[in-house]
Structure 1
Amino acid sequence: MSDLYIGSGNWILGRVNERYGLPFQPRPAQLKRIGQLGPLDTAGYYCDPGTGKTLMSTVSALHKIIETPDLAVLVIMPFPVLLPQWTEWLRNIKGVGKVVQFQGTPKERAAMRLGDAQFIVMSTPIFKKERERILRELKGRPLLGIVDEAHCIKNIGSQTYKAVRDTFQERLMLLTGTPLTTPGDAYAYCRLVSPPIYRSERHFRNLHVGDEDFFGKVTSWVNLDMLRENFLNSSTRMLKEEALADLKQPVYKLLDYAMAPAHAELYERLVEEQLLLLEDGSKIDATSASRLYNAAQQIIANWDHFSGNPNNRAAVFDVVESVLDEVGCVRNDKVNWSDRAQLAGMGEIVRAPKIIIFAQYRMTNRKLVQELAPYGAVACFSEVTPAQQAKNITRFMEDPTCQVLVANPGSAGYGWNPQKVCSDVLFVEAPTVPRDFHQGIGRVYRDGQEFTPVIRICRAAGTIQHRLHHNLLEKDALANSVQTAYQDLKDALRGS
């Protein structure tokens, strides 16, 4: 079957190469997926970050355009910061028709003409807001949807899922490197890619839910072999190890450190106060557990805030500075960048040191940007507008004086490709959703990387961060995996 897919992939690629000029050609593992999924109307490309989902889906889309010349391709993604990369990629393909990056103010969007576009690239909010106008201007042209970072559709009750379902009933590609947080997420993908498999959500649950707790949370799943087979129907799963056999594996470093005694004492007291808000010995559901975990983790990096003393500096910032020193970052007022440029002119390999620092919480991100301003730190988290985030990412990738990108994994952990300029990642706070952790690593662990990625994870002794790290290693979402008794949660919050 593999040889058959390779043959089909070569045939599809040959047709595409006759008409279009791709910037580069697929690798063998990618070619096999093109042969497997390219002929299908609906398909799921569930491939690790950096394994070429964009290339594979584009080749398949161009093949469909050859088959259906008036086809309009709508490329949709949840993060506006990804739009310029998709647009640039498509415009660099020789022979491709009109590509519209559909964003901006309502007035700017109103001035854009969509009717003759071959590709329209937009964010999911714009797609939902402008869907009727887009369909009206395309005047009944056949449609193909490409949903990048397709985990945004896994909630079947969301408007995003419904808009995708209602718009692309004939041709659809779902792209994501981290499709599942729980087995239950598979239902949405199956309904969009292979609708006949499950008649309804009730049918899905009858087949795959083993037990539920008092709160209706699934505590065990059954028939997982069947679920995996159904999930991969008309879809593929590809890991980096297969697609990129020569890729340098990341080095993981756990940075365990101790908080100052007064800080540790404050952490203990505040955690105890949070626990006392719950009835002693009562059952704690996933929602309250998640709230407690988040509250506890914020105390670790924000000693000044929770103590009310601006002079109290959390020990994690000393850890951060030691990592910057190890990476080679230097305060901009201490380095002569023109001297470095001269060294490069002499043939020396001079690489501007850069690091991505992920933190979960706005308060921590703000503090990191403030602390690391001497290193030219820029930010990507919810308090920064999407337009400014895009500018910050560009500066990080192009400006040697911008040595640090501070980000929330959900804001800058997806879709952009800094692997040629950066190989170091530091998690100051543990993500509560494992998907964000793996996507964050995927920024530097991907095709095109020039150095071995180094992933550092901070863990404060005697705190919740040890339990969070354990949950991440089990690749299970915290809110869905925690259904525990009072004493167990109390031990977890105290790092026991």
Structure 2
Amino acid sequence: MNIQLNYNQKKNEVILICDDPEDQYWRLLGRIVADNVGEFSTQSDSIIFAWRYFLAFKKELAIYAKSHNIGIRFSPDVKCLLESANTASYQYALKCKPLDEAILISKLREAGFKRTLTSNQLRNLSKLASLPSSATFSVPGAGKTTEALAFYFINRKKEDKLLVVAPKNAFGAWDEQLEICNPNGESSFVRLRGGENNIRELLKSNPQYIIITYQQFPRVRSLVSEFISRNSVFVFLDESHRIKSGKQGVSAEAILNISYLPVRKLIMSGTPMPQSVNDLIPQINFLYPDIRVKEEDVISIAQPLFVRTTKAQLGLPSIEHKLISIPMDPLQYNIYLLLKSEFKRQLNPYLNDDAKSALRKIGKCTIKLMQFVSNPALLSSDMDYVFNQKLGRLLLINNGPKIEYACNRARQLAKEGKKVIIWTSFVENVELIAERLRDLGADFIHGGVDAGDEDDNDSREGKIKRFHDDPNCMVLVANPAAASEGISLHKVCQYAIYVDRSFNAAQYLQSEDRIHRLGLSDDLKPTVEIIECKDSIDEVIRKRLSIKVQRMAKALNDPSLNIDPIPYDFKMFDEQVGGMQLDDLDDIINYFFGGIQND
């Protein structure tokens, strides 16, 4: 029996064609493919699957063919792809040695790179630049964008291009850093936006620097894939943890399907595994699709590939975390117990369901509890959870102790001349708190606030500029989903108050980083106050966030990554599943069915 391997460039697929489909070893091969390949299709004489799966499967295929005397023939396209894949393999990367820093500086100067790198950046680049594909997991403010551009400049050939996949709010930073690093060359990225036809025309102009959002990428994957196939292209993933959903995510799957095309790749994230070690798997698969990565070995596989500059290495003063534990008033607490009991009844039928449906249902119930603890008025009009109209009216006038504390604490800080950012997961809270603190010049940012020019007072950038420049604007209220990335507040604000938190560790860590970044003076002490209601879902969230951050700190060899707060005595002054993952379920189920307080 002989098997011909062909390549479909348009679909990025490998096609195995057998000359004897009745052969028992061909049928057995189909079962082996099913066990090793994520998605595939078959006909009687062919098996088709994504090329990226083939890179990780080719060793098993070679062993199987040799064991059963099966002939393997490669088309010219397959031969060419395999040759290029071999030079960029994980095993090849393991043999690479860091480059000498003096040689790095000389090569960067020759390439026209003008920015002077810090000692941390030089140390990181000496490792990054030697690898065909690598990762920078440095903390925000450490200069990952500069490191990435230096990685490109030191390795590029004249015809090489750069494609960056990034959140929209990071586009400006890439333009800014490119202009600083390359003042004598092209100083801006071509932004792939405006629909498929417009993007096709933009790519026809053969730009050197290109940037696209994670949301746009899957819509035009074939166009981008064709461009990378025709050119020599570096591909960088900024905030690469956004592909942590792997095969389940649309943008992740689209990006992984082109992972074998770039000449070099780089992933960038300060929080590469915010929920679990599984978050790393698709990121490593992007860098080296030739290896099969599992949960039990992903950390050891990743270790030789990444660099990280910690906050301790940057010389940043540590954050003081304060836990403010507040009791609910009797009315709120009694209704809370009713809600918990009702949710317990609703969740019973789902405990034996498949994990995905259980997570969805438990997530909805948990978010309701999070809302109620944060601000009881958020549930006043939700008749599914408010048991009568009288109760609803009582809830409507009760914002709860957390809102009261946050507002009073902001006023005290304002009297001391200190600006503060107040974080809450819920849009209604964002606007409510900003309204209550209007006399302090409070402004707000949430998902409904569009990005725009900083001269537009109603835009995201305009509000940030006002918080920086206006001495009468003492408070900024925001939700982490909209404002945890792309904002630097540390020069004017060193205080943050969390009315509530979700299970999303990435958003929490990144929101903290808004006031804790490079450039913070040694004499300033950034402070975070976390408000919790006693005997509530808040305590489960704190436990889960702590576990996730400790797990990431261990994997990244970063002991400075610590969010455990110190309890302080309380004094009163005169989106669908909340970032939950499957491994959060045990603690949440335990909370409902035997948890922190008795029903």
Normalised TM-score (structure 2): 0.67
Structure 2 match to 1:461: 534
Find the partner of 1:321 among 407, 427, 430.
407
Partners in 2 of 1:30 and 1:495 — Cα distance?
Answer: 53
1:481 match = 584
Match of 1:276 among 345, 355, 371: 345
Q: 1:296-307 maps to which residues of 2 (within 5 A)?
A: 296-307=369-380
- Contact kept in structure 2, 1:81 and 1:390, CA below 8 Å: no
RMSD (CA atoms): 3.2
- Secondary structure at 1:49 match in 2: coil
After the TM superposition, which residues 213-292 of structure 1 pair with which residues of structure 2 at under 5 Å, given as runs? 223=296, 226-241=297-312, 243-244=313-314, 246-279=315-348, 285-292=358-365
Taking the aligned partners of 1:353 and 1:415, their CA distance within structure 2 comes to: 22
Aligned: 1:196 with 2:299:
no
Which residues of structure 1 form unaligned runs of 5+? 199-203, 209-222, 331-351
Query: Does structure 1 retain, via aligned residues, the 8 Å contact 2:162–2:234?
Result: yes
Distance across 2 between alignment mates of 1:485 and 1:267? 15
Residues 314, 383 of structure 1: alpha-carbon distance in 2 compared, 3 angstrom cutoff: same
- In the alignment, the residues of structure 1 paired with residue 580 and residue 209 of structure 2 have an alpha-carbon distance, to the nearest angstrom, of 38
Listed as ranges, the gaps of 5+ residues in structure 2 are: 1-95, 381-391, 453-458, 550-578
Question: What residue in structure 2 maps to residue 369 of structure 1?
Answer: 434
The reply on whether 1:183 has 2:286 as its aligned counterpart is no
Give, in whole Å, the separation in 2 of the partners of 1:260 and 1:239: 42
2:189 is equivalent to residue 100 of structure 1: yes
In 1, Cα distance between equivalents of 2:201 and 2:474: 37
What is the CA deviation profile of residues 240-263 of structure 1, one whole-angstrom value per residue up to 9, with x for unaligned ones? 22x31x211111111111222222
Structure-2 separation of matches of 1:454 and 1:435: 19
Q: Secondary structure of 1:20's partner? A: coil
Work out the percentage of aligned pairs sharing the same amino acid. Answer: 19
Q: 1:166 to 1:9 in 2, by over 3 A?
A: farther
Query: What CA deviation, in whole Å up to 9, does each residue of 1:152-206 have, x standing for no partner?
Result: 11222223223323445332110001111212222212211123331xxxxx44x
User: Hey, what's the Cα distance between the residues in 2 that align with 1:486 and 1:189?
Assistant: 30
Give the Cα separation in 2 of the matches to 1:174 and 1:254. Answer: 34
Task: Give the partner amino acid of 1:417.
Answer: S
| 1:326-361 superposed Cα distances (whole Å, 9 cap, x missing partner) | 43269xxxxxxxxxxxxxxxxxxxxx7432222122
- Residues 7-60 of structure 1: CA distance to partner in whole angstroms, max 9, x if unpaired? 52332233223443545x333232111000113221111222222211211211
1:493 Cα offset (Å): 6.5
SS in 2 for 1:356: strand
Deviation at 1:151, TM superposition (A): 0.6
In structure 1, the partner of 2:106 is: 14
CA distance in 2, matches of 1:430, 1:176: 21
Cα distance in 1 between the residues matched to 2:506 and 2:257? 27
**One-letter amino acid of the structure 2 residue matched with residue 71 of structure 1:** D
C-alpha separation in 1, matches of 2:225 and 2:468 = 36
Would the alpha carbon gap of residues 485 and 122 (structure 1) be closer, same or farther in structure 2, given more than 3 Å must change? closer
Structure 1 residue 98, shift from structure 2 partner: 4.4
Q: Which residue of 1 aligns with 2:123?
A: 32
What's 1:153 paired with? 243
Aligned CA distance change for structure 1 residues 48 and 156 (closer, same or farther; 3 Å):
same
Match of 1:201 in 2: none
8 Å contact 1:463–1:492 — kept in the other structure? Answer: no
Partners of 2:165 and 2:236 within 8 A in 1:
yes
Q: Which amino acid aligns with 1:151?
A: H
Segment drifting more, 86-95 vs 375-384 = 375-384
CA distance in structure 1 between the aligned counterparts of 2:588 and 2:472, rounded to whole angstroms: 50
What displacement does 1:469 show?
1.0
CA distance in 1, matches of 2:468, 2:214: 25
Separation in 2, partners of 1:111, 1:440: 36
Question: Residue 76 in 1 paired to residue 165 in 2?
Answer: yes
| Normalised TM-score (structure 1) | 0.79
Partner deviation per Cα, 1:44-94 (whole Å, 9 max, x = no partner)? 1122222221121121112123xx12222122213x222222222222332
Q: Is the 1:43–1:235 contact (alpha carbons within 8 Å) kept by the matching residues of 2? A: yes
1:375 Cα deviation from its structure 2 partner? 3.1
Distance, in Å, in 1 between the alignment partners of 2:589 and 2:221 is: 48
CA distance in 2, matches of 1:149, 1:258: 38
For 1:227 and 1:233, the matched residues in 2 are separated by: 11
Which deviates more from structure 2 when the two are superposed, residues 121-130 or residues 425-434?
121-130
The 3 A distance-change label for structure 1 pair 376 and 119 is farther
